Amino acid sequence: MAEPADQLPDHPDCLNCGQELRGQYCGNCGQRASNRLISLWELMRDAFGDLFELDSRLWRTLVPLLIRPGRLTRDYLEGRRARYMPPFRMYLVLSVVFFVVAFFDPREDLSLLFEPEPEPTAEEIQAAEETEDEALDKAQEKIDELEAEGTLTPENAEKARAALDDEDEDEDDGDATFTLWGDGSEEGFNVKYEEETGGCTSSGVENLPAWMQRRLTPERLEGMCERIAADKGKSVGERLLDNIPIALIVLIPIMALVLKGLYPLSRRYFVEHLLFFVHYHAFFFLILTLQILFSRFTELVSLPEAIGVLVVVAASFYIPVYLYKAMRLVYGQGHLLTLAKYVALVLAYSIGAVLTMMGALLFALFSI
């Protein structure tokens, strides 16, 4: 039976790959045969269709990713792939969504759209200082009262008064010297900032290994220290935030190697273990994003704070349980054997996460 006139292709061959057409879609590359301009509605449907169609690949991927530990990995390894989003694309999308939801601040990133916050007046500053002074006076009176009642020993009362005096002096005196790096000991490696002079000094560099001494010269350390103190570490925080996604990408193949070592007889390729952790990290980003959105929703509608705390606790328990159940489903071993490998994997993951985050921090420090 002949196709309706509106279903016939505009061209006998596919405009994308040149294959002969036998219908509205190319049998080789899948592109639609029609070459007409699409409407605005069709453009919007192509952009958001996966979001609003319940049977789209988006929802067929996110739902099992969230509630069926290991299901996506097992289906993908067994060849059932067309129904799901590609794993690396899903990981990148969910990681971007997480970092946008977690760290995007409209008032800072879109500050041009908001009016600046008014500076406090002299009267407001004076009122705040008077309030702080009153609080210190009340604390001193309370210490005296407790000492008179015998609740506080004279020694403890004296320590409490000294602590309040130190706090009062810190508020009055803006000059200070503090250690940015190191343990503060005289013989150890330290980088100190002196607020009185606005400069930094370093000591103990000679105690470091030779390869570190060649990179951590006193001039370089003091320059970094001054730049950090100038903006109170804001630039370091921004660079660290930029480096975290890269650190997590580095962590995934490291953990895949650990999995390959834990399952030496599974005959699985390295990329199969890699896929397991791509899916697990995608789940991690998804549940953290949902948790943040739910917390903000509870604040918006003024729900009891206990509900938000309960959700955080539940998610904290679900994340490790998810990993264990995913290992059970994908690798198919018994509870005891899986539990032993799970403990080893969690320990290795903790060490790997600390090392990669330290690396991200070092890169942030040296890039300012």
Domain spans of the chain, in order of start: 8-37, 40-112+232-368, 121-173, 174-230
Across the chain, mean pLDDT equals 79
The answer to whether residue 102 scores a pLDDT higher than 80 is yes
Identify the bridge partners of residue 172 per DSSP, sorted by sequence position. none
Residue 5 pLDDT class (50, 70, 90 cuts): very low
Residue 75 pLDDT class (50, 70, 90 cuts): very high
The answer to whether residue 177 scores a pLDDT higher than 60 is no
Q: Distance of CA 145 to CAs 132, 150, 158, 165, 341, Å? A: 20, 9, 13, 18, 58
pLDDT, average across residues 164-178: 54
The pLDDT assigned to 2 comes to: 45
Q: Report which of residues 307 and 327 the model is more confident about.
A: 327
Report d(CA 264, CA 226) in Å as an integer: 50
The answer to whether residue 52 scores a pLDDT higher than 60 is no
Selection from 203, 247, 242 nearest residue 225 by Cα: 203
The pLDDT assigned to 257 comes to: 95
Contacts 24+ apart (CB under 8 A), 180-185: 180/225, 180/228, 180/229, 181/221, 181/225
Residue 260 pLDDT class (50, 70, 90 cuts): very high
Quote the pTM value. Answer: 0.68
One-letter amino acid of 63: V
Report d(CA 315, CA 211) in Å as an integer: 43
Report d(CA 231, CA 222) in Å as an integer: 15
The pLDDT assigned to 196 comes to: 63
Q: How many residues does the chain have?
A: 368
CB atoms < 10 A from the CB of 358, how many? 11
Residue 182 pLDDT class (50, 70, 90 cuts): low
Q: Which two tokens stand for residue 171?
A: 């508020």
The answer to whether residue 236 scores a pLDDT higher than 50 is yes
The pLDDT assigned to 197 comes to: 64
Residue 326 pLDDT class (50, 70, 90 cuts): very high
The pLDDT assigned to 108 comes to: 65
Rg (CA), the chain: 30
CB atoms < 10 A from the CB of 314, how many? 11
Q: Report which of residues 186 and 190 the model is more confident about.
A: 190
- Phi/psi class of residue 200: alpha, beta or left (left: φ > 0; alpha: ψ in -120 to 50)? beta
